Structure 1
Amino acid sequence: MRGLLVIGHGSRRGEANATVRELARRLATGSAHPTAPCADVSPGPDGSPDPAPSSTGSQSANDPRPWGAVESAFLEVTRPNIAEGYANLAAAGCTEIIVYPFFLFDGNHTHRDIPAALDEARERHPTTRWILSEPLGLHACVIEAVRARLDDTLRGLVHAAGTST
């Protein structure tokens, strides 16, 4: 069975940690924002949209829940930590664990710290293997999301300029 481990950095701010947990919940249930325009866009090698859907083994890329179990975990500050999240997936019967680092950029955490923690967790669960996904980076939908946030900001400025205080 395949599991999904969504890893966030971990924060003293509960709202930040709640976002990681909510992402894991939505990935587990297959729910997304109903107007998400990027829901079916896969990036090409240069980050631009690729019209051909990618395959995920025997499960369809269009399957909203190709995971038998989903867990959230954190690199530092809060729990569950990576070892605990990995152990929960192994206990649920997952032998293949896809790991999604919910980070914007590829850096030391995604290249060094997370793989080291995953290797340590796998030592305790030798019948499992893990596969690390790329972080968000400049995926076409990230660029679209940034444009949407900027549009919201500009609309807010126009609205604020039109009001008197």
Structure 2
Amino acid sequence: MPSSQTPEREIERLRIERDELAAAAKRVSVQLQHFMDDTTDPGTEALAAQYELTRLLSLLSVDTSAIDEAQYLSRFSVTPSEVHRFLSTHLAEDVHLRYQQAIGNRAVEEAAKDLRMAGAKLDATLGASTETASTMRRNADQIDPIKDGGPYPSQLIRFGEQGGAA
């Protein structure tokens, strides 16, 4: 222990480290529980590990504000299911749906724009307005949220439950 560090500061440092460790154990416990819930036969080792983690966590008194769950959503390894799980536990369902719609509507706007461009390229290639290109533009207008299409998605996507991406 460095001489400039008081016993109170050392105790606080150790408390923060304990809370970080407990928060990490809690995340492992949650992920293990998801694995067990999603697996038909998780195995004796998984069940024993989950029991032991739960037992140890119940013995700890932890300051959960020390390490926020969002800090552990790594930009290099987070999956859509993990993001969905985080948002669904921190947002009201209608707010979560509006968030998904903001993203979905923007994606459909982009797709509609690309469809219009494909129609324009077809007309330019053939040197005249074609029925196919006109149909492409009408379909783009029909789905485009800017032109009264949508909203997309119409219902909250629950990743991993109803065909959502894993």
Task: Tell me the TM-score normalised to structure 2 length.
Answer: 0.26
Task: Tell me the TM-score normalised to structure 1 length.
Answer: 0.27
> Highest CA radius of gyration, 1 or 2?
2
Whose RCO is larger (CA < 8 A, sep 6+)? 1
More helix by share: 2
